[in-house]
Structure 1
Amino acid sequence: MVSWSGHVLPVIVTVAIWFFATGLIAWLDNRDRATFPRSLALGGLAGVAGLVAILAAAQSVSVGAVYLSFVGALLVWSWHELAFLTGAVAGPRRTPCPPDASGLGRFAHASAAVLHHEIALALTALLLIALTWSAPNQIGAIVFVLLFALRLSAKLNMFLGVPNASTDILPPHLGYLTSYFGPNRFTLLLAATLAANVALAAWLGWQAMTAEAGSAQMVGASLLFALAALGAIEHLFFALPLRDGALWGWALPTRKSAATNPNTAFENGVT
């Protein structure tokens, strides 16, 4: 049976945080670049607070500790997102892809454009796993790893090409990233990753439904289910003619008009 506290509330919390956190990051990253140092400093403080929250909650298996660890992981993730979208931590390559690049050469150029960000995410994931390896509450590390996997999947799909790689929240100073996107097409990778995301969300949903009523395990599985479901929806958006401006235009300093070039995207959401 569906429980309000064990199933519905965790999903509402996840969607609300995803929606408003993405909007806040979009607002910060599309402001004047002179504001970026202050935004990064505040984001850094939030990230450190998130790490402290994960560590503080790691030894408890209460419902409150699960929520605390979950929010902590999202704070750490948002810190990385802010650093990337401000351009502070992206990659050694800050120029468009050469027009004649193809194959492994094009992949190398694309990787160089986001290399530092990917290394930072991987090191943070390993740190969280190490810090909570034997802890009874590992939700924080699991959430971060899940977000990392979803983000890698999204980037690989955009590199190979998707029918709708449109995102209105990409800051102008990262516009060169659109040159690394593939043509508008539906690929086997998109089909496979979409199916995998749906399967993962279904499995996590089953875990939430079969957990002990009112338990921390039920809440944790529901939170992870909501994240996986959002990841599946974001991958589905790659195949549908939907624009980010419809969701987060309210958060941008100046509402962007729809671009005529379909390859104007890079990131979509907290994932």
Structure 2
Amino acid sequence: MLDYGLPVLFVLFAWWFLTGAVLYIIGLPRTTVRWSMAGASIVALGALATLWQTAGDTSPAAAYTAFMAALLVWGWHEMSFLTGVVTGPRTTEAPRRARGRAGLWPAIETLLYHEVAILLTGVVLFAMLWGSANEVGLWTFVILWVMRISAKLNVYLGVPNLTEEFLPAHLTYLKTYFCRRGMNLLFPVSVTLSTIATFLLIGEAGTSAGAFDKTAFTFLATLMALALIEHWFLVVPLPSAALWSWGLWSREDEAVGEMTASPVLARASVPVQPDPPQPVSATLF
């Protein structure tokens, strides 16, 4: 049982701790952004070097190391976006008459640089790790990437529980690209495919003979399950703020109007800016 239990607990702890850590960092005054990003960049470069060094190592310890390194690389992208350092060419509200397909490109423009940066990182990871003995870091990054794109599309197309209250003040213009509705046609497809992927990974973990494979597939299955749960958060209101209340301590003395906190791998309820702009209804169907 330890072959499965310890990796599951490790993923849960990493998910909880890194979310709280980013909450804390994002809640710091704007004057700290350059230092926060400098530190995050050093950590991310070290994580990339670690992934390269562990590419040929198939020990369980290497699986743990590669998984954590991939999370740190992903964390850099989330921090760079939430701090406003890497977003997109459009930093204004959605055009008033842009709906459906016409509104998709303006929405993409708000994230374009961020998504291109993730794409380039993915290319680097594929070049480094594809075909290697230890691909844990590569597939960890891929799961985070695919599931984040799915979540963004669902928020754009419309879900009951939007993530607008989690945006920092300098990104509040993104609220106008969201749509609140009971359901969209993509959501059931997203959760169905995610559920299938989760069970396939669980099956691989259960049938793997070696300790490395058991650990690796347990990591990926647990991460996929958490991403699936986050999708359900979009339609089923589940309070989660208590899990990361410690991450909000940096905001206790924050002046009104300064940047609010925002999680990376999960959601936490935080105060919303007063009188937010109304979301623009958007659909691709």
Task: State the TM-score, normalizing by the size of structure 2.
Answer: 0.86
Alignment deviations for residues 92-116 of structure 1 (CA, whole Å, 9 cap, x no partner):
1111112221122210110000000
- Post-superposition offset of 1:30: 2.4
Query: Aligned residue for 1:60?
Result: 57
Between 251-260 and 70-79, the greater mean CA deviation after superposition: 251-260
Inter-CA distance 263–137: structure 2 relative to 1 (3 Å threshold): farther
Inter-CA distance 160–52: structure 2 relative to 1 (3 Å threshold): same
Query: Aligned residue for 1:257?
Result: 271
- Post-superposition offset of 1:45: 0.7
Inter-CA distance 264–105: structure 2 relative to 1 (3 Å threshold): closer
Q: Aligned partners of 1:169 and 1:23: how far apart in 2?
A: 13
Q: Does structure 1 residue 141 correspond to structure 2 residue 155?
A: no
Give the fraction of aligned pairs with identical amino acids, expressed as a percent: 36
- Secondary structure, counterpart of 1:183 in structure 2: coil
Query: Aligned residue for 1:230?
Result: 226
Alignment deviations for residues 186-213 of structure 1 (CA, whole Å, 9 cap, x no partner):
122111101111111111111111111x
- Post-superposition offset of 1:153: 0.3
Q: 1:165 aligns with which of 155, 162, 177?
A: 162
Inter-CA distance 130–221: structure 2 relative to 1 (3 Å threshold): same
Q: Aligned partners of 1:43 and 1:145: how far apart in 2?
A: 20
Query: Aligned residue for 1:269?
Result: none
Query: Aligned residue for 1:91?
Result: 88
- Secondary structure, counterpart of 1:68 in structure 2: helix
- Post-superposition offset of 1:245: 3.2
Task: Kindly indicate whether the alpha-carbon contact (under 8 Å) linking 1:132 and 1:141 is maintained by their aligned counterparts in 2.
Answer: yes
- Secondary structure, counterpart of 2:110 in structure 1: helix
Inter-CA distance 263–64: structure 2 relative to 1 (3 Å threshold): farther
Query: Aligned residue for 1:210?
Result: 207
Task: Kindly indicate whether the alpha-carbon contact (under 8 Å) linking 2:164 and 2:172 is maintained by their aligned counterparts in 1.
Answer: no
Alignment deviations for residues 27-48 of structure 1 (CA, whole Å, 9 cap, x no partner):
2122211000000000001101
Q: Aligned partners of 1:261 and 1:245: how far apart in 2?
A: 22
Task: Kindly indicate whether the alpha-carbon contact (under 8 Å) linking 1:165 and 1:263 is maintained by their aligned counterparts in 2.
Answer: no
**Structure 2 gap ranges (5+):** 253-269, 280-285
Q: Aligned partners of 1:95 and 1:245: how far apart in 2?
A: 29
Task: Kindly indicate whether the alpha-carbon contact (under 8 Å) linking 2:129 and 2:135 is maintained by their aligned counterparts in 1.
Answer: yes
Q: How does 1:1-20 map onto structure 2 within 5 Å?
A: 3-4=1-2, 6-20=3-17
Q: Does structure 1 residue 150 correspond to structure 2 residue 150?
A: no
Q: 2:237 aligns with which of 225, 233, 241?
A: 241
Between 21-30 and 119-128, the greater mean CA deviation after superposition: 21-30
Q: Aligned partners of 1:100 and 1:229: how far apart in 2?
A: 38
Q: Aligned partners of 2:50 and 2:84: how far apart in 1?
A: 27
RMSD: 2.1
Alignment deviations for residues 40-95 of structure 1 (CA, whole Å, 9 cap, x no partner):
00000110111011011001111111111111111110111111110000101111
Task: Kindly indicate whether the alpha-carbon contact (under 8 Å) linking 1:208 and 1:221 is maintained by their aligned counterparts in 2.
Answer: yes
Task: State the TM-score, normalizing by the size of structure 1.
Answer: 0.90
Alignment coverage as a number of residue pairs? 261
Task: Kindly indicate whether the alpha-carbon contact (under 8 Å) linking 2:166 and 2:272 is maintained by their aligned counterparts in 1.
Answer: no
Q: Aligned partners of 2:81 and 2:206: how far apart in 1?
A: 36
Q: How does 1:123-142 map onto structure 2 within 5 Å?
A: 123-142=120-139
Q: Aligned partners of 2:278 and 2:63: how far apart in 1?
A: 37
- Post-superposition offset of 1:236: 0.6
Q: Does structure 1 residue 30 correspond to structure 2 residue 31?
A: no
Q: Aligned partners of 2:242 and 2:131: how far apart in 1?
A: 43
- Post-superposition offset of 1:172: 1.5
**Structure 1 gap ranges (5+):** 266-271
Letter in 1 for 2:100: G
Letter in 1 for 2:197: L
Letter in 2 for 1:41: A
Q: Aligned partners of 2:206 and 2:275: how far apart in 1?
A: 43
Query: Aligned residue for 2:264?
Result: none
Q: Does structure 1 residue 101 correspond to structure 2 residue 115?
A: no
- Secondary structure, counterpart of 1:207 in structure 2: helix
